[in-house]
Amino acid sequence: MYRSEYPRPSLVRAHWQNLNGLWDFAFDDKNVGLTEKWLEKGKFPLKINVPFAFQTPLSGINDQSFHDYVWYRRTFKVEKQKGKRYLLHFGAVDYECKVYLNKKLIGEHIGGQAPFSFDVTAFLNFVEEELVVWVSDLSTDEHMPRGKQYWKEKPEGIWYNRTTGIWQTVWLEIVPEAYVTRMKITPLYDEGKVHFALTLSEAGQKLVLQGADNLLKYSATVNTLEHEFTLQVFKDKKDYDTKSWSPENPYLFKFTLSYGDDHLSSYFGMRKVHAADAITYLNNKPYYMKLVLDQGYWPESLVTPPSHEALEYDIKMAKAMGFNGARKHQKCEDPYFHYYADKLGFLVWAEMASSIKFSELSAWRDKNEWQQIMKRDYNHPSIVSWVPLNESWGVNEIATDKRQQQHALDLYNFIKSQDKTRFVVGNDGWEQVITDICAIHNYNHGHHDDKEAIAAFNKSISTKDALLNSQPAKRPIYANGYAYRGEPILLTEFGGISYQMSEDKGWGYTAVSDADRLLSEYKRIILAIKKSTALVGYCYTQLTDVEQEINGLLTYDRRPKLPVEKVKEVNDLIQKYK
C-alpha cells in the first residue's frame, strides 16, 4: 500500500486504521449513478489505488480524459470497542462528494482542497463495512477553485492535468466518547507565552498537558465544551535566543495532552512575524525571505505526493540550494509538507487553488474552503503568510470592478479575523487592494544577450518608485482606488528559466542550453535584486519542472539541473540584515 504512514503527523493518536489501497471504481460519465442507485446495485468494473486520482499512473488507471462523475467502493473490517467513537477522515476529495457507509448516506462535502470527517459510529455493523463515495468534479467549471488544473482536455501553457476525486489519505480514527475535537495553538511571542484553545466533544474530564522537557505542565478538570489556557514558555533572554523557531533554528516544543481517556501528542513553535518600515521581521529581527515557487506536482501522481519522503526531499533540496522557504503555489499541500517544514525549518506561504472566473458562487466557494484550510493548518509555525488570491485569477476585473475588489477585501479581512499571527498577501502579483506585503511578479528579465531588456528589468526593480510604477504584465501593482501603504515589497515571481534536460520539450519565460548558462542567468537576476534599494525578499520560479513547464531548478522527477551548492552560493550573495 502506498501512503501507509499515519496521515496527521502534527497531532497523533495511537488508534487508527488506514483505508488507502485498492478500491473498486467506476466512471459515471452520464451522471446516472445516483438515479439508478449504483449504491445498491451498481457495477464497479475498475480498480483504483487510493489516494491517487484516476488521471495518474500510480492510480492504476492513468486516464487524463474528462470524467466528471466517478464512484469508489471498498469493504473493511473494524473491531467493536466499548465506549469508543469512530471518525472517518478524508484528507481531500476534489471536488464535491457524497459518502455512504453500509448503504446509508453519512454526509456530503464541498471543496477539493480541505479535509473533512464524519462520526460514523452509528453506521458501523462491526461485521463487514461497505464504504462508497460518489464524486462530482466538473472539468470545465471555471467558477470552481481549481488552481492549475486545466479546464481543457490537454494541458498547455501554465495549465496542467486535472485531479478528480480522492487525492489524500482516507482513514478511520478510534477515540473515546470524550475527546478533543480541535486544538488551536497561538504563540504569544512577545510575552514568551503560548495560548491553547480546545474544543471538546463532552465536558467533565480531567485535562493534563505535559511538555517533553517537563517544563510545560497544566492540569484542570474541564466542565465546558470549550477550554482555554495560557502557559509561560520563555523564562529569559537565553530562551528567546535558543528556542525561537526559525529556518536556522527550527526548535519545536513537543508535548502530550490527555483529556480523560483521549491521549494525543503534538508540538508547537514560538515564532512571530510582522512588518515595520517596509521590512519583514521574524522573531523581532529583520529577515530576508529567499523563497522558491513550489507547485507540488509529480509525474507519477500529479498533486498527490507519491510518499511523505518525497515532500521531505523537496524541502531538503530547496534548503540545500539556499532557499529559506517556499510559496506553495495554488494548492493546499499534504499535511506532511507542513510537518517537515516545521521540523526542518522552512518558511511557507500557503495558498489555496484559485477559481478562474468570478461569480457569487465562486466567491462563496473561496471563503467556504479557506475557513476549512485555516483550521487544519493554523498551528504550523512554518506558515508565515496566507495567500488568498494570485494574479487576479478568479477576479479578472479587480482593477476596476468594485464587487471583485470587495471579494478580495472580504477574503483578506476574514483571514485576518481568524489569524492575527501571520501576513495576508491580498492578491499576489498585481492589482492588489489591501495587503500586508506588496507582492510583485516580473518575468521581463530578458535573454542573456538582450541588453535593452536587461537594462529595463534592472531599472524596473531598482527603487520603490520604479517597482510601484511598473506594469510587468501590463497591469498596475494596485487596483483603482488603492495604493501602496508602506508594506514590504517582495518580488514573488520571477525567473522561470527553461533548460531542457530530456527529449520532452517544453517552455520557460526565457531559455538556456546548458547548466552553466542557467547558473549565470540566475546569478544575473539575483544580483539585480540585490542592488534594489526597495526589495526585501524574493520567490524564484520555480523548484521543479511541471509537465510542459521545464523552468525548474530540478527536473519533474527531481534531478538537479545544476549543482545545488552553486545555487546556494548565488542565493548567499544577498546577506541583508545579517
CATH of the domain at 220: 2.60.40.10
Q: Which CA distances in Å does 528 have to 121, 319, 454, 532, 568? A: 60, 22, 10, 7, 17
Shared domain check, 396 and 468: yes
> For 9-66, what is each residue's pLDDT tens digit?
999 999 999 999 999 999 999 999 999 999 998 889 999 999 999 999 999 999 999 9
Helices and strands in the chain, H and E counts: 10, 33
**Domain assignment present for 577:** no
Max CA distance (Å), the chain: 76
Pick from 550, 20, 62: nearest CA to 302: 62
Contact 32, 41 (CB under 8 A): no
Q: Label residue 407 left, alpha or beta by phi (over 0 means left) and psi (-120 to 50 means alpha).
A: alpha
Give the pLDDT score at 25.
98
Q: Which CA distances in Å does 314 have to 57, 147, 299, 323, 347? A: 21, 20, 14, 11, 13
Shared domain check, 483 and 352: yes
376, three cell numbers? 487544519
How is 183-204 classified by DSSP, letter by letter? EEEEEEGGGTEEEEEEEESSS-
Amino acid identity, residue 395? V
Shared domain check, 427 and 320: yes
| Other beta carbons within 10 Å of 17 | 15
Shared domain check, 170 and 201: no
Q: What is the pTM of this model?
A: 0.97
Shared domain check, 325 and 249: no
Give the pLDDT score at 215.
85
**Domain assignment present for 110:** yes
CA distance 268 to 283: 15
**Domain assignment present for 4:** no
CA distance 499 to 542: 12
Q: Which CA distances in Å does 293 have to 170, 314, 322, 331, 362? A: 28, 12, 13, 12, 25
SS3 558: coil
- The CATH number covering residue 21 comes to 2.60.120.260
Measured on CA atoms in the order 96, 100, 104, 107, is the torsion positive or negative? negative
Query: Among residues 273, 305, 329, which one ends one of the domains?
Result: 273
Q: What residue ranges in 300-420 does DSSP mark as E strands?
A: 325-328, 347-351, 383-387
**Domain assignment present for 3:** no
Shared domain check, 97 and 152: yes
Which residues of the chain fall below pLDDT 70? none
Query: Among residues 133, 155, 176, which one ends one of the domains?
Result: 176
Q: List the beta bridge partners of residue 135.
A: 70, 97
Pseudo-torsion of CA 28, 31, 36, 40, nearest 10°? 50
Residue 573's H or E segment, with its range, is: none
Amino acid identity, residue 517? R
Shared domain check, 114 and 52: yes
Give the pLDDT score at 436.
98
List Cβ neighbours of 383 (8 Å cut-off, separation of 6 or more).
338, 341, 348, 349, 350, 377, 422
Shared domain check, 190 and 165: no
Q: Label residue 330 left, alpha or beta by phi (over 0 means left) and psi (-120 to 50 means alpha).
A: left
Contact 320, 346 (CB under 8 A): no
* Edge-to-edge strands, sheet with 116-119: 16-18, 170-176, 84-90, 116-119
Shared domain check, 224 and 297: no
**Domain assignment present for 5:** no
Query: Among residues 176, 204, 220, which one ends one of the domains?
Result: 176
- The CATH number covering residue 511 comes to 3.20.20.80
| Other beta carbons within 10 Å of 485 | 11
Provide long-range contacts, Cβ within 8 A and 24+ apart, for 408-412.
408/433, 408/434, 408/479, 409/433, 409/434, 410/363, 410/367, 411/366, 411/367, 411/370, 412/388
**Domain assignment present for 402:** yes
Q: List the beta bridge partners of residue 282.
A: 273, 285
Contact 367, 394 (CB under 8 A): no
**Domain assignment present for 281:** no
Give the pLDDT score at 502.
80
CA distance 512 to 461: 23
Contact 328, 113 (CB under 8 A): no
Contact 426, 389 (CB under 8 A): yes
Pseudo-torsion of CA 560, 545, 472, 490, nearest 10°? -60
Q: Which CA distances in Å does 12 have to 53, 107, 172, 262? A: 26, 25, 13, 11
Q: Which CA distances in Å does 425 have to 346, 388, 438? A: 18, 7, 7
Shared domain check, 520 and 388: yes
Q: List the beta bridge partners of residue 196.
A: 185, 229
> For 343-401, what is each residue's pLDDT tens digit?
999 999 999 999 999 999 999 999 999 999 999 999 999 999 999 999 999 999 999 99
CA distance 534 to 462: 7
CA distance 295 to 25: 28
Number of domains composing the chain = 3
**Domain assignment present for 43:** yes
CA distance 371 to 400: 27
| Other beta carbons within 10 Å of 490 | 27
356, three cell numbers? 478562474
Residue burial 156-177, b: 16+ Cβ < 10 Å; e: rest:
eebbbbbbbbbbbbbbbbbbbe
Contact 430, 441 (CB under 8 A): yes
276, three cell numbers? 515595520
Pick from 492, 498, 490, 478: nearest CA to 441: 492
Domain limits at 220?
180-273
Shared domain check, 365 and 306: yes
Give the pLDDT score at 42.
83
Shared domain check, 171 and 184: no
